[in-house]
Every structure is written in C-alpha cells, then in structure tokens.
Amino acid sequence: MTHSVPLYLDGEFVESQAHRSIANINPATQLTLAQVPCTTFEEIDRAIASAEQAFKDWRDVPVPERARLMMNFCQRLKDQQDDIAETLSQETGKIFADAKGDVWRGIEVVEHACNIPSLIMGETVENVARDIDTSSYLQPLGVCAGITPFNFPAMIPLWMFPLALACGNTFILKPSEQDPLTPMQIAEIFQQAGFPKGVLQVIHGDREQVDHLITHPAIKAISFVGSARVGQHIYRSGTDHLKRVQCMTGAKNHMVIMPDADRQQVISHLVGSSVGAAGQRCMAISVAVFVGDSVQWLDELKDAMSKVKPGLWNEEDAGFGPLISGAARQRVLGLIEQGKEEGADCLLDGSGFTHPDYPDGNWIGPTLFADVKPHMSIYKEEIFGPVLITMHVDSLDEALDLINNNPYGNGTSLFTNSGGAARHFQRNVLVGQVGINVPIPVPLPFFSFTGWRQSFYGDQHAYGKQAIRFYTETKTVISRWFHHGEEVQRPNLTIQMR
C-alpha cells in the first residue's frame, strides 16, 4: 500500500479526505511511488481561509525579517539540494545531473527573493509642488495561487512562492499531480525554516481542484506554468473572475545555424538542447533551421545524436531519462508516425528504443527529422519529446519569417560568427528570449523570464523585477505638512496650475 501525499495545510502536513487519487509513478520502473489525493473543495477552502488569516500578520512582518527567513530557507535548500534532486529523479526520470540543475535554478530564485528590501523599494520625489512630496509604495495583494507543470517540479514552484511571500503575500501552491513529491520535500524544508504557519499551503489534484482554486473570491493573483491549452483556459477564467493572471505556456523554439558558425559548437549544443531532459523543457530547441550550406552538417548531427542513450537517473552513461508518462510517450510516438506519413524524412527513429532492464519504462530514443515543412504536424505542435526536426532555408531573413510566423515566442537562438547577422536577428525576431551562440537562453532571476506571443498570457512576467510588480499593488502617497501658524488659504474650487 503506497502512502498518500499529504497536504500542507495551516502549517501542518495532513492527510487529505479526498475520495479520488492519482498514482504517482516512477516513469522508468513503473513502480507506484505514492497516491496523489484530489483535495476536497472543503480542504481547499480551509487552505485559503488559513492563508487569508496568515496574511493579516505576514503583511506587517518587517521586510528585513522576511528576507532573513528567506535566507534561512535558501541555506536549507542548498544543504539538502542533493536529497531533493534524488526525489526529483525518482518521480520525473530525469538523470541526476539534470535534476540537480532543476533544483539549483530554483535556489537561484530564492537567492533573488532574499534581496527583497532592495527589490520592493518604491519611488519618491520631494517638492512636487511647494511643500508637497510624493512617494510610492509596493504593497502585497493578499492570497496568491500558483499552478505548476511536471517538467520542473523544483524550479517552477520556486519561481513563484518565494517572491510572492517576500512581497508580503501568502500563497497556495497546486503542483503537478505527476510529480508532487519534490515540491512537498521543498515544503518540508520551508516549514523547518521558521516561517509563520499558513503563509504557504500546498494542495493537490487536477482540473477540478485548479478550477475551484482560481475562481475562489479570496484569490487575488494566479501564476500558471504549463501547456498553452490549459494556460489559455486559466487566463480566461482567472481574468473573468477579475484576478491578476500570468501564464507561462508552451513553446516551439528554433535554432538558426548560419554557414559561418562554429560547426562543432553547433552540433554539440544542438544535441544537448534538443534531447536533454528527453526534450521535456519549455526552452528545448525543437527546430533546427539550417541556412545555406550549413545543411551539410546534418549527417554529423545524426551521428552525434545516435550516440546519446536514454537511461536510468543514476546510470553513468545515460544522456536523458524516460518521458513522464505512458500517455506522454504515446502522444510523442503518434507525432513521430504522423511526421513520417506527412512526408518528412526520419533520419533517426527512437520509437523502438527500450531499456534492457526496464522494458516497461516510457522510453523514446533520440529522433531526428529532415525536410520538415511548416504545414506538418511535427512543426505545428509542441512535441515535448526527444525529437529534433530540421528545416533548410536560403537566408537569415527566410529563417526570421519562419520563426515570426510560428505562434509561439518563448526562446530562440542564432549560431553565427557575424556580429551583423546577430544584431539583425536579435532586433527583428519576435521572440522574448534570444541566445546568440547560446542554445537555451534562460535568464537568471535578476532578469525576468520573458516569453512572448502564445508562450505567455499576461503582462508581468515570472521572476526578476516584473514578478515584484506582479505580486504587489502600487500605492502613491502625496503629503503636505503645514507649518505651525501657516496662513489658511481660501477654499480652492479649481484644479490648480502649479
């Protein structure tokens, strides 16, 4: 009998009274790790009520004290990062080095949240009119909610609640039902860090729980990361209920390769950024666009990709792990078949890969397509598997047209040795995160994560200064102090010219 993943409710880890649960399965071995309860609505309401209550005091905790608690949390995360990464590997299948990266990129956001006294500073102007000053303050909103995807179960929850809390809000997290053990381990570390009870709550479930949470009147802001389909639903539903919403969604990231680029760098970076983490990264390169003669490097690319083997999280020679679920594997296999049927040239087919010791795992080997056209399903859909598709164009402008006509705008990169080409590309591409000879351009947390077009719905992005804006309301105070005995003017009935 596997254990039920607890809720983190009102400062305690408690068993849910849920009538329905979802199995949390190791994607390599297929062993059930735990049962994920679909939290009852009554429990969700209790979590929200507790977070509302906690907000009353938390908003008044001095900012340096909030920062100190965050520093304590951050140090504990650093001390236990390998343990968290091991849990993460077990439930996602990620190889250990990659799991450690997932945890570390989250810790970097907590480090950023420790800077809250500087980040939350408002603005002041003295003497905007005679004897009158104006100041602005950033004040917390109240109870915020976060809904996170399966592919970064440490990093993405840490994109959200540390910054929301540092700003003085309280937070309800609904992690992915496919890998909730990692965020629960983080919640345990959070509890040990000494925060007041109720400032963070964790509930579990799927669509039903999310819909109840995001339409609840007490929720002021919603952060979502996941697929575009669900992100659109959450954005519409959240804004219909007059909430502030940010949705970081799906992607189709192109890497453009100019003939003057460094060939070996291109091959190495293309392999790592396409099939790393089994292609289950929102910033994975899923389309390689060869310009002119660089297309001759395809054979070498195929050779390099064929050497990468999927494997277990702790196998030394494993390049990446299995897909998250049997359903995800079936979906990707379906798209590979569709690619072949629609006329793309499958140079390397990983559909038949199985691990000799774990044949039931959700394995797919590296897969490479050439001659892909924009109308094909493998170009139009986010595949989210270890599948790289390649296209050939004659010029950089043709590559730019292709990218700018794709509905997504999360990340892109250009490999070249020409400064002129790089500048033209970075200035004209309609994508929010651009790498020049950098395949996966994910900004560090003092910048923001800035997907564009259908990769993002909202206006303030995740982390960086924009997250501080997202999790706060600006209050402007205009003040004037009268001098003792100052002459009282006649009532003024007009707008004054200064």
Q: Is 18 in the site for ligand NAD (CB under 6 A)?
A: no
Contact 191, 138 (CB under 8 A): no
At closest approach, how far in Å is the CB of 348 from ligand NAD?
Answer: 23
Q: Is 230 in the site for ligand NAD (CB under 6 A)?
A: yes
Which residue, chain included where needed, has tokens 């219909």?
240
- Beta strands 367-370 and 472-480 are unpaired
Residues that contact ligand NAD, how many (by CB under 6 A): 29
DSSP assignments along 337-386, one per residue: HHHHHTT-EEEE--TT---SS-TTS-----EEEES--TTSHHHHS---SS
Annotate each residue in 107-146 with x if it binds ligand NAD (CB under 6 A) or - if it does not, as one string.
Answer: ----------------------------------------
Segment near ligand NAD (CB under 6 A), from 50-58, 163-171, 244-252, 300-308?
244-252
Which residue, chain included where needed, has tokens 């460094």?
262
At closest approach, how far in Å is the CB of 334 from ligand NAD?
Answer: 16
At closest approach, how far in Å is the CB of 222 from ligand NAD?
Answer: 11
Active site residues: 282
Maximal CA-CA distance, the chain: 91
The SS3 of residue 222 is: strand
Q: Is 21 in the site for ligand NAD (CB under 6 A)?
A: no
At closest approach, how far in Å is the CB of 295 from ligand NAD?
Answer: 27
d(CA 71, CA 85): 20
Q: Is 251 in the site for ligand NAD (CB under 6 A)?
A: yes
At closest approach, how far in Å is the CB of 179 from ligand NAD?
Answer: 9
Annotate each residue in 179-218 with x if it binds ligand NAD (CB under 6 A) or - if it does not, as one string.
Answer: ---------------------------xx--xx-------
Segment near ligand NAD (CB under 6 A), from 92-100, 173-181, 330-338, 367-375?
173-181
d(CA 111, CA 107): 6
Out of 173, 203, 225, 440, name the contact with ligand NAD by CB under 6 A: 225
Annotate each residue in 293-332 with x if it binds ligand NAD (CB under 6 A) or - if it does not, as one string.
Answer: ----------------------------------------
Q: Is 277 in the site for ligand NAD (CB under 6 A)?
A: no
At closest approach, how far in Å is the CB of 338 from ligand NAD?
Answer: 18
Segment near ligand NAD (CB under 6 A), from 13-21, 223-231, 297-305, 388-396?
223-231
Q: Is 233 in the site for ligand NAD (CB under 6 A)?
A: yes
CB nearer ligand NAD, residue 207 or residue 373: 207
Of residues 338 through 397, those in contact with ligand NAD by CB under 6 A are 382, 384
The SS3 of residue 164 is: helix
DSSP assignments along 19-63, one per residue: S-EEEEE-TTT--EEEEEE---HHHHHHHHHHHHHHHHHHTTS-H
d(CA 20, CA 36): 9
At closest approach, how far in Å is the CB of 97 from ligand NAD?
Answer: 19
d(CA 175, CA 157): 7
Nearest to 146 by CA among 211, 214, 224, 206: 224
Identify residue 275 by its one-letter amino acid code.
V
Express the helix, strand and coil content of the chain in percent, nearest 5 each: 40, 25, 40
Which residue, chain included where needed, has tokens 């910054």?
163
Of residues 426 through 485, those in contact with ligand NAD by CB under 6 A are 449, 451, 455
d(CA 431, CA 407): 10
| Burial zone of 327 (CB within 10 Å; 0-12 exposed, 13-18 middle, 19+ buried) | exposed
d(CA 53, CA 47): 10
Out of 180, 226, 319, 435, name the contact with ligand NAD by CB under 6 A: 226
Which residue, chain included where needed, has tokens 């950098």?
438
Of residues 140 through 159, those in contact with ligand NAD by CB under 6 A are 147-152
Site for ligand NAD, rule CB under 6 A: 147-152, 174, 176-177, 206-207, 210-211, 225-227, 230, 233, 248-251, 282, 382, 384, 410, 449, 451, 455
